[in-house]
Amino acid sequence: MSRGIKGHLYIVSGPSGAGKSTICRMVRKMLGINLATSATTRAPREGEMNGRDYYFLTKDEFLAKEKNGEFLEYATVHGNYYGTLKSEVESRILSGEDVILEIDVQGGLQVKAKYPDAHLIFFKTPTMEDLENRLRGRKTDSEETIQLRLKNSIKELEYEKEYEITIINNTVEESCAALRRIIEEKYN
């Protein structure tokens, strides 16, 4: 989806369990848009691969990159560091590629301040009960982690008003269609 001069940057945020990763992965494949791979200090979940899903770093590696100014944004979320490497975004945007950043709300606002033309898209579930069911359904987190994610989601939902568009993830199919429509119709 090259534009010749400068690509579009889409920032997708929302509570953990809202379905962002699934939807972004599907739409990215449909439209041929790059997903900027984030870095994290959390342990990989089953099936996740370093360099594809995340760059899995130790805390020391992450902090060294932060000290060297290698991050476009970073934050501590659910007790782990998450960040977007500048190298994952800047050269792609300048070469005309579109890029999707799937990042937390704090990071989304940090990037928007640096890239005012970036498009902010917020994902959420229809209800908190749906969010809890999705988190439990993943069967990847301890009860303590689930409770932390639910507690943090209340804070994250307060940022929705800072985002241009909200997608309520009722079903994967509806949400994919909505995100695809936003990218194809609104911004191209």
Can you give the residue ranges of every domain in the chain? 9-185
Q: Is the pTM of this model over 0.85?
A: no
* Rounded (5°) CA angle 14-139-142: 85
Give the model's pLDDT for residue 76: 87
Give the model's pLDDT for residue 106: 86
21 marked ligand binding residue: yes
19 marked ligand binding residue: yes
Give the model's pLDDT for residue 4: 43
Give the model's pLDDT for residue 3: 39
Cα torsion 19, 126, 154, 8 to 10°: value is 50
116 marked ligand binding residue: no
Residue type for position 84: T
20 marked ligand binding residue: yes
3-state secondary structure of 132: helix
The answer to whether 17 and 134 have CB atoms below 8 angstroms apart is yes
16 marked ligand binding residue: yes
CATH pick for 9-185 out of 3.40.50.10490, 3.30.300.180, 1.20.1070.10, 3.40.50.300: 3.40.50.300
14 marked ligand binding residue: yes
The answer to whether 39 and 62 have CB atoms below 8 angstroms apart is yes
Buried b (16+ CB within 10 A) or exposed e, 160-173: beebeeebbbeeee
Q: Check whether 186 has a pLDDT greater than 70.
A: no
CA neighbor of 99 nearest in space, from 34, 181, 43? 34
Mean pLDDT of the chain: 89
Write the pLDDT tens digit of every residue in 156-179.
999 999 999 999 999 999 999 999
Write the pLDDT tens digit of every residue in 76-119.
877 899 999 999 898 889 888 889 998 889 889 999 998 999 99
Q: Which two tokens stand for residue 8?
A: 């579009």
Give the model's pLDDT for residue 187: 52
